[in-house]
Each structure stands twice: as C-alpha cells, then as structure tokens.
Amino acid sequence: MSLWLTLVQKVLGRKANKEVNRFFAAIKEPQKIQQELLFSLLKRNRNSEFGQEHHFSEINSIEEFRKRVPISEYDYFAPYIDKIKKGEKNILFSDQQVLMFALTSGTSSSRKFIPVTDESVDDYRRGWSLWGLGVFYHYPHLFPKPKITMVSDHEEFYSEGGIPCGSISGLTTQMQNPFFRMTYVLPPESGKIKQSDAKYYLAWRLGVSRDVGMWISPNPSTHVKLARFGTEHAQTLIKDLYEGTLTTEFEFPDVVRKAVRRKLKPNPKRAAELEQILEETGALRPRDIWPNLGMIGCWLGGSLQSYLQHFPDYFSDKTAIRDIGLVASENRMTIPKEDDTPGGVLDITTGYYEFIPVAEIDSDEPTVLEAHELEKEGEYYIIMTTPNGLYRYHICDVVKCIGFFEKTPEIAFLNKGSNISNLTGEKLSEYQVASSVSAALKHLELKLAGYGLIPDREGETAGYSLLVEESDLPNSELATQLADTVEEELRKSNIEYEAKRESGRLHPVRVELIPTGRWEDYNREMLKKRGGTAEQYKHPALITNPDVRSDLGLVEK
C-alpha cells in the first residue's frame, strides 16, 4: 500500500471509529434513541408550515404524534414540496438548506421530488461509510483497491426556485474526500453520461488498466449488463486500449472527455493480455479480467434473484456479494453487516420508524409498532419520519424482521406492498412469486433472461401465466416442468393460493412463451414511462397492470 493511502487510512480510521462506536451504542437502546430522534425533529421543525398545521409544539408523546400526524404517501406532501421547489423556506422543516431534489421513479408519468437537505445528505453519507467500514473490516485488502461504481447526474434540471433535481449519488460523489475518490475508476463527471452503454464502456475502458477490487451499484441488473459488456464490445475495447483512444461509438459530454483525457494512455501490453484472454476463453469476463475482484455490492432482496442467478457466469466464486442496504431517495433504512443476505440492521440513528403488520394494512385502526416491538419472522409495512421533512411517510415497502442485532431489528426488503394480485382472495405478493420462481429454477437447474407472472382472467376460471422468452425454453416438455414446479412452490408459499387451487377457483400456472428480447424492450419502455434512473428500476416478478400484454407488444388472448 502506498504511503498516502496508509496515511489516509489512519486519518479516516480515527473518524470512522467514532461513527462506529456511536452506532453500536445506539443499537443497544433502540426505543430511547428512536424517541429522542423523533422529538428532536418535532421540536426543531415546530415553526415550519407543516409543523404549525400539525401542532408539533403540542406533541409530547408517541400517542399524540400518531393522533396529530396521519400516515401518508407522497401525494400528501406534494403541495408542501411544490412550495420548496419554488424556493420558499420553512415549509416542511426549519433551518435546513435544500441542496437538491432527489428524483424517484413513480408508478405513473409523474416523478417524486424528495428534498435533500444538508442534514439528510450527511446521514446518507454516514450510512454509506458504515457500510464500507463493515466491508473493510472483513476485507481490509480491498480498501486501497480501485472501485467501479455507477452514479447519475444530480443536475438533470433545476426547479422553479433554481434548485438542482436529479440523483443523490451524483451529489455525494462530488462531495467525496479527494484522496478516497482516487480509488474510484469512474470520475464524478461520469454522472453526466446519459447513455447506459456509454457509461459501461467507460467503466471497462478505464477499469481494464487497473486492479479493480470492488463493483458497487444498487441494482444487480446493472452488474449483469456491465459484466456482459466486455465480451459484446471486446474488439473496440482492445483497440482503444492499444491506441490510447476513446471510441466514437458512444457520446460523451465534453466535461467527461476532459476528465478522462490524461487517463487514456496507450497500453499495448494490457491490450495483448486481453486479446489472449479473448482467444483462450472466447469472452472478456470480469473473473478473468480482474482476478482480484473481491466484492460486489448490490441489492439481494425482493424479486432480484432473476439477475443474481447469472452472477456465477461472470464472477469468481471467491468474489463476495454483500447487500448495500435498504436505500431509497427518501432515506437509508438498513446497514447490512454480512455477505449473502438481504438483511441489515435498522439504522435507528437517521430516521424514526414505525411498522404495520402486513395483515392489518387495510384495517381502519391497524396495530402500529416501534422498532423494538417487532417480532422475528414478522412481515411489516415500514413507515418513516426523516430529517428531510417526511413525517409518517408510507413508502409502501414490505419488510421482514429476520432477527435482532443487540436490541435493534435486522430487516430485509420483500416487495413493494402495492404489487399484490388478488383474483379471488389469494393475495399473492411479488416476494412469493419471486421466491417460488427462484426455487423452481434452482430445482430444474434453469436460468431465464427474464420472466413475469401475470393474472390471466380469460376463460371460466382465472389464474396466472408465467411469461418466458422462447429462447429460454427450447421445448414444450421443459415449459411444462417449469409451470408445474412454479405451481408447486406457489402452493407451498401461500396457503390462500393453495386453498383457491384446491377448490378450483384458480387454474394452475401456465407458461406462455414470448419473443426473445421482449423483456429488455419492456424494461426500457417502463423506465422511460415512469422516469428515474436505471438503478432505480427493478424488473417486476409479478405484473398486475392489465395493459401488460399491450406493453409487451403481444396480441390479446
């Protein structure tokens, strides 16, 4: 390790120890820490417009807080946020500077604007620091190694009041410690690249000359696409590496070209190594290009197994996989501490959390629990109150309590609560679909480019059809086996589905083949329609939209 990295590690280590000690002290008494955080937020923001309308100054108990402030989704906060977008002050919070609005993808054409304040961005960065410290504690050799991480633009456009709107990752990258930033392959300016393939190219072009140790990007689909990119563009990469050039195949903003100009030196030796790997293996796979790639950080929960199943095709079994945590534009909710699990410790230091049992979400008076009141194996909707002006915000995420660390719950993301199908009382969740298909694929030793389970309302009896690309199932026998195995797994995972099947109210799962490449086209169109970045988009395992056949370009049955 170079001298400067040794010094940086020591300086950062002292600061990091304080953060770690603070977090470990907090998780030993979650009820106390959570309530102190809540009442501190209410006190500081009592003179804001929202605080006055909801009588923050009169709230002295959890019961009073729940009485005064309703559980609400984004639309409830939208009128207040619209005022902040125009530059008005003291609306949702007092004495905080709005640095930007984080844009999130919505279920309609509208996008959500989440205020990013000086305090919330500090919390966001601290959460990432805790995650990184956990990784470097277990894998200290990875600290100095180059890292590939994808960021997006935090200045896509500006609000009426002149406030940047975009991705929070672009802002935090600009704020990075300059010494630590040197270990990143892509420069902060890469967030200005709009075309995903151009960003993948730049990651490979700059990365092949370095001993990359980590890939960090939330969505596993990004890792799969990036991993495939090397083979798909092998000749272009080898040529540019040999000549020290940047391809004209993709568009790069001038600010990006300027940032990477000095890094584009001819490297004939490395180009020859890549040429030899390509000749011997027929591909440029990450496991061959970067033999010291020790960690991939991405989401592991929910319906993402369809992408994770492809990791062994590209990455060494020595490459660890760690969930980056339940992170949204609204807040970071968990800090994972182990590999190969979607669970993480609830970050009780950056937001106040309440939980509603899934079975009670439609009740007029549901049970509402604090963090310390959760039960292991319980499934809940998570409600958050955060420094960026979201009070009892219903993000519609379903999580599972998988245990406790010290006295604080560890939770894992299951699915968006809005994505449930209920043809005849079965209340089938996306998590149940994803886990059932994953189990079926493992049993049959199959891999799919993509899939989607959709409600099938045609005929006398309703049921579900599993849409699979025709190249993934070369014969009807395999399609039948997949349908039968998914059916078996669904019946085991959902007792109501089992009952409805037993009584004949639902027909068994059917496999329907669709043209090859159709899922990628669908995902591209959905991202365009809903807005947001590629990182935010998750291909759904369960698709309840009645227009799905039209969206896929299929003829109605």
> Rounded to 10 degrees, what is the CA torsion of 238, 265, 173, 312?
30
| 556 domain-assigned | no
Q: Which of 381, 416, 451 is the last residue of a domain?
A: 416
The structure tokens 């939209």 sit at 545
> Rounded to 10 degrees, what is the CA torsion of 539, 541, 546, 550?
50
369-370/379-385 β-pairing: unpaired
Based on the domain organization, do 281 and 132 belong to the same domain? Answer: yes
| 270 domain-assigned | yes
Based on the domain organization, do 115 and 125 belong to the same domain? Answer: no
| 334 domain-assigned | yes
| 402 domain-assigned | yes
Based on the domain organization, do 411 and 450 belong to the same domain? Answer: no
Based on the domain organization, do 125 and 246 belong to the same domain? Answer: yes
Based on the domain organization, do 425 and 403 belong to the same domain? Answer: no
- Which tokens belong to 284? 């440029």
Instruction: For Cα atoms 23, 29, 32, give the angle at the middle one, nearest 5 degrees.
Output: 105
HEC assignment per residue over 345-373: EECCCCCEEEEEEHHHCCCCCCCCEEHHH
Beta bridge partners of 381: 356, 398
Q: What tens-digit pLDDT sequence spans the chain (557 residues)?
A: 455 455 555 655 666 778 888 999 999 999 999 999 999 999 999 999 999 999 999 999 999 999 999 999 999 999 999 999 999 999 999 989 999 999 986 543 468 999 999 999 999 999 999 999 999 999 999 999 999 999 999 999 999 999 999 999 999 988 887 777 889 999 999 999 999 999 999 999 999 999 999 999 998 989 999 999 999 999 999 999 999 999 999 999 999 999 999 999 999 999 999 999 999 999 999 999 999 999 999 999 887 887 898 999 999 999 999 999 999 999 999 999 999 999 999 999 999 999 999 989 889 899 999 999 999 999 999 999 999 999 999 999 999 999 999 999 999 999 888 778 888 878 898 889 999 999 999 999 999 999 999 998 877 788 999 999 999 998 999 999 999 999 999 999 998 899 889 888 899 999 999 999 999 999 888 888 877 777 778 888 999 888 888 888 775 54
**Of 307, 354, 467, which Cα lies nearest the Cα of 69?**
354
Beta bridge partners of 334: 346
Based on the domain organization, do 167 and 295 belong to the same domain? Answer: yes
pLDDT, position 503: 80
pLDDT, position 109: 43
pLDDT, position 423: 86
Angle, helices 234-243 vs 220-232, to 10°: value is 70
Give 343's DSSP letter. Answer: E
Instruction: For Cα atoms 59, 65, 71, give the angle at the middle one, nearest 5 degrees.
Output: 150
Based on the domain organization, do 249 and 374 belong to the same domain? Answer: no
What is the pTM for the complete model shown? 0.84
Domain tally, the chain: 3
Based on the domain organization, do 171 and 219 belong to the same domain? Answer: yes
- Residue 370's Cα: distance from chain center in Å? 24
Beta-sheet strands, E only, within 406-476: 408-416, 420-421, 428-429, 451-456, 462-469
Containing structural domain, residue 83: 3-119+325-416
Q: What is the number of other CB atoms lying within 10 angstroms of the CB of residue 375?
A: 11
Question: CA-CA distances (angstroms) from residue 50 to 67, 68, 112?
Answer: 15, 11, 19
pLDDT, position 504: 84
Based on the domain organization, do 264 and 199 belong to the same domain? Answer: yes
The structure tokens 């689909």 sit at 221
